[in-house]
Amino acid sequence: MTNVSPEHLEYLKKRRRRAWMVKAGQWLILFVFFGIWELAAAAQLIDPFIFSQPSRMWKAMIAMAMDGSLFTHISVTLGEAILGFVLSAILGTLAAVLLWWNPFLRKTLNPYLVVLNSLPKTALAPIIIVWIGNNVRAVIVTAILTSIVVTILTALTGFIEVSEDKIKLVETFGGSKRQVLTKVVLPASAPALVNAMEINIGLSFVGVIVGELLTAKAGLGYLIVYGSQIFKMDWVMLSVILLSLLAALLYQVIVALEKRWIQK
Amino acid sequence: MESILRLYAISKNFHEETSETQAIADINFIVRDGELLSIVGPSGCGKSTLLSIISGLIPPSSGEVRLLKQPVTMGYMLQRDHLFPWRTILQNACLGLEIQKKRTPANLRYVETLLSQYGLGEFKNHYPSQLSGGMRQRAALIRTLAVKPDILLLDEPFSALDYQTRLQVADEIASIIRREQKTAVFVTHDISEAVAISDRVVVLSKRPSRVAAIHNIQLPAGVKPREAPEFRNYFNLIWKELDIHD
Ligand SMILES: Nc1ncnc2c1ncn2[C@@H]1O[C@H](COP(=O)(O)OP(=O)(O)OP(=O)(O)O)[C@@H](O)[C@H]1O
Ligand SMILES: [Mg+2]
C-alpha cells in the first residue's frame, strides 16, 4: 500500500461512486413510495381510512409510544421470535447430530422428514392451540415447528457432505466418533449451520405471527388482527412496517454473528 | 537391520451389492526398522487398501499383520494434506496430539521445534490457504510426526503437487524422515520417486495383487540420486516389471 497508481485511485473512486449510487437508489425507492402514499391519501385518490397514510401511522406510533403499548407489542413479538429461533436452532442441531450419528435412524426417518419439510407447518397452528391452549407457549411451539424441520435438514446435509478423507484423517490418529464430530464434522459444517440459522430466523417469525394472529393477546400479530377488526388500519399498517424492520434487524444480527464466527 | 513389521499372506476382498472385488490376493513382506520402503504398483491394485490394513483401519480378509517390536505406533499420511482451513498451521499440527490427549507442553514444544526446523516457524499462526503446496505437505508431515510414531505410512503424499514442486518436496520429506530416524512405508505410482528416495522398493502386480519383486536400492553416495547411472537401471527394471503385469 505504498505506491498507489493514479489508475488504481481512479478505479477506487469509481467503485465508491457506484456503491454510493446504489445506496442512494435504495433510499430513493423508500422515499418515493411513502411520498406517493402520503400525497395520494392527502389528495383523496385513495381512502386513508382503508389504506392508511404515513403521517397517520406516525401519529399512531407516537400515541402508542406515549402510552407504552408500542414497546409491549414489539417486545412480545421479538421475545417470542427469538425464543422460537433459539430453541429451534438448538433442538434442530441436536436432532441433526443424532441423525448423523445413527445412519439407521437417518434412513428410517428420511421419508418422514421429507414429507414434513414440504408440509406448510402453519397449517398445524390451530391444532397446536387446541392442544396447548390459547397462550404464548402455543405461539412459541408454532414458531419452533415452522422452522425446525428445515434447520434439521440443512444442518444434516452439511454434516453428511463433510469429506470422508477428513474423517479418515481423524481416525488415523485413533479418534473416536465423538472426536470425529467435534474435531471435523461440526467445524467443517459451520457455513451450513449459519445458513440454517438464516433460514430459521425468517421462518420463526412466520410461525410467531401466525400464532399471534390466531391466539395472542399482545404482539404485532395480535395488533394486526385487532386493528383490522376495529378498522384501525393505521395500527395494521404500522405493525406490518415494524415487522419488516424487526425481521431486517434480526437478519443483520445473524449476518454480524456469522462474520465473527467464520472469519475465513 | 532388525525387522519391525511382517505381513503374512494378506488378502482383501470388497463386497458390494452387485459385485465382489478381489483387491489383494496374497502379499508377504517384511519392513525393517529404520528403512524407507516404497510400494509401487499399477493404479487400483490395492496400495491404499494395503496401507489401511497395515495401519489397522480396516481388517484383512485373511492373513495377518504382525508387529515384531512392542509397542509400535503408526502415523498415517494421506494422499492430500487435509489441513483444516479453520485451524492455523500450529493448531493443525497439534490435531493428532489433541485427539490422543497428549497435548502437553513438552509435546507442544516438540511440534514448534519441528515447525521451525522445517521452515514453517514463521507460518505457524497462518492458515493453510496462505501456504504453498509444498509447505502444506510439510505441515501435514509434521502433524503426523507430532504423535511420535515408530512407523510412518505415506499414501502418495505428493500426488496433489505439480511436477517441479513434487521432485523437491519428495526429497525434502525423505530427508526429514531419515533425520527423524523413522521407519516409513511409502506408496507411490511414480517409479523414479520410489527409486530416488527409498532403501527398498516392493513392486506389486495388478489386481488382485501379489508381490512381483522386491529391490534393494543402492545408489552411489555423493551424486544426486536421479543423476546416478544406476538410477536408470532400477527404473527400467521396475518399469518392465510393472509393464509385464499390466
Ligand atoms: N471401500 C471399498 N469398497 C469397495 N471397493 C473398494 C473399496 N476400497 C477400494 N476398493 C477397490 O479395491 C481396489 C483397490 O483399491 P485401492 O484404492 O487400494 O487401490 P490403489 O492401488 O490405492 O489405487 P490408486 O493407484 O488409484 O490409488 C480398487 O479396485 C477399488 O475399487
Ligand atoms: Mg490409492
For position A109, which CATH number holds? 1.10.3720.10
- For ligand 1, atom 11: residue with the closest CA: B23
Question: What HEC string does A103-116 produce?
Answer: HHHHHHHHHHHHHH
Do A27 and A68 lie in a common domain?
no
pLDDT in tens, B14-34: 998 888 999 999 999 999 998
Do B222 and B123 lie in a common domain?
no
Is B176 within a domain?
yes
Rounded Cα–Cα distance for residues B107 and B86 (Å): 22
Do A34 and A84 lie in a common domain?
no
Beta-ladder partners of B24: B12, B209
Is B79 within a domain?
no
Are the beta carbons of A180 and A172 closer than 8 angstroms? no
Average pLDDT over residues B113-126: 91
Do A151 and A238 lie in a common domain?
yes
Is B63 within a domain?
yes
User: Of B147, B181, B200, which closes a domain?
Assistant: B147
The three cell numbers of residue B7 are 505381513
Do A231 and A119 lie in a common domain?
yes
Rounded Cα–Cα distance for residues B192 and B78 (Å): 20
First to last CA, chain B: 33
- The pLDDT score that the predictor gives to residue A2 is 62
Question: What CATH number should be reported for the domain holding residue B32?
Answer: 3.40.50.300
The three cell numbers of residue B141 are 508431515
Do B63 and B168 lie in a common domain?
yes
Do A179 and A243 lie in a common domain?
yes
Beta-ladder partners of B215: B201
Domain count, chain A: 2
Do B166 and B224 lie in a common domain?
yes
Are the beta carbons of A239 and A224 closer than 8 angstroms? yes
Do A31 and A86 lie in a common domain?
no
What's the pTM value of the predicted model, to 2 decimals? 0.83
Do A130 and A178 lie in a common domain?
yes
- For ligand 1, atom 18: residue with the closest CA: B46
Structural domain for A173, as ranges: 51-261
**B53 in contact with ligand 1, CB cutoff 6 A:** no
Q: Where are the alpha helices (DSSP H) in B155-190?
A: 163-179
User: Of B125, B147, B169, which closes a domain?
Assistant: B147
**B49 in contact with ligand 1, CB cutoff 6 A:** yes
Do A93 and A213 lie in a common domain?
yes
Do B185 and B222 lie in a common domain?
yes
Pick among A163, A170, A172 to test the B interface (most B CBs inside 10 A): A172
Do B169 and B68 lie in a common domain?
yes
First to last CA, chain A: 22
Q: Determine the distance separating the centroid of ligand 2 and the alpha carbon of B204, expressed in angstroms.
A: 13
Q: How far from chain centre, in Å, is Cα B53?
A: 14
Q: Determine the distance separating the centroid of ligand 1 and the alpha carbon of B147, expressed in angstroms.
A: 28
- The pLDDT score that the predictor gives to residue A65 is 92
Residue B162 contacts by C-beta under 8 Å, 6 or more apart in sequence? B133
pLDDT reading at B245 higher than 70? no
Structural domain for B31, as ranges: 3-72+150-245
Is B123 within a domain?
yes
The phi and psi torsions of B174 (rounded to 5 degrees) equal -60, -40
Rounded Cα–Cα distance for residues B5 and B115 (Å): 29
- For ligand 1, atom 12: residue with the closest CA: B23
Do A98 and A41 lie in a common domain?
no
Do B218 and B161 lie in a common domain?
yes
pLDDT reading at B101 higher than 80? yes
Domain count, chain B: 2
Nearest to A187 by CA among B80, B79, B83, B123: B83
Beta-ladder partners of B204: B211
> What percent of chain A is helix, strand and coil (3-state, nearest 5)?
85, 0, 15
Is B7 within a domain?
yes
B150 or B168: which carries more pLDDT confidence?
B150
Question: A187 to chain B: which residues are within 8 Å by CB?
Answer: 84, 86
- Residues B79-99 as b/e (b if ≥16 CB within 10 A, e otherwise) read ebbbbbebbbbbbbbbbbbbb
**B24 in contact with ligand 1, CB cutoff 6 A:** no
Do B196 and B238 lie in a common domain?
yes
Taking the CA of B25 as reference, the closest ligand is 1
Do B165 and B241 lie in a common domain?
yes
A173 vs B95: CB contact, 8 Å cut-off?
yes
What's the pLDDT band for B62 if we cut at 50, 70, 90? Answer: very high
Do A12 and A106 lie in a common domain?
no
Tell me if ipTM is over 0.95. Answer: no
A183 vs B82: CB contact, 8 Å cut-off?
no
Do B65 and B156 lie in a common domain?
yes
Residue B31 contacts by C-beta under 8 Å, 6 or more apart in sequence? B3, B4, B5, B6, B37, B151, B183, B185
Rounded Cα–Cα distance for residues B9 and B64 (Å): 7
Do B55 and B175 lie in a common domain?
yes
Do A208 and A165 lie in a common domain?
yes
B76 vs A184: CB contact, 8 Å cut-off?
no
CB atoms inside a 10 Å sphere around CB A14? 10
Are the beta carbons of B78 and B48 closer than 8 angstroms? no
Is B126 within a domain?
yes
User: Of B99, B115, B147, which closes a domain?
Assistant: B147
Pick among B53, B98, B99, B159 to test the A interface (most A CBs inside 10 A): B99
Do B100 and B205 lie in a common domain?
no
Do B162 and B234 lie in a common domain?
yes
Instruction: Give contacts of A 176-215 with B, CB under 8 A.
Output: 179, 183-184, 187-188, 190
* Residue with the three cell numbers 527400467: B236
Taking only the tens of pLDDT, chain A with its 264 residues reads: 567 888 889 999 999 999 999 999 999 999 999 999 999 999 999 998 889 999 999 999 999 999 999 999 999 999 999 999 999 999 999 999 999 999 999 999 999 999 999 999 888 899 999 999 888 899 999 999 999 999 999 999 999 999 998 999 999 999 999 999 999 999 999 889 988 988 898 899 999 999 999 887 889 999 999 999 998 999 999 999 999 999 888 888 888 887 877 654
Do A210 and A87 lie in a common domain?
yes
Nearest to B194 by CA among B214, B209, B176: B214
- The pLDDT score that the predictor gives to residue B246 is 47
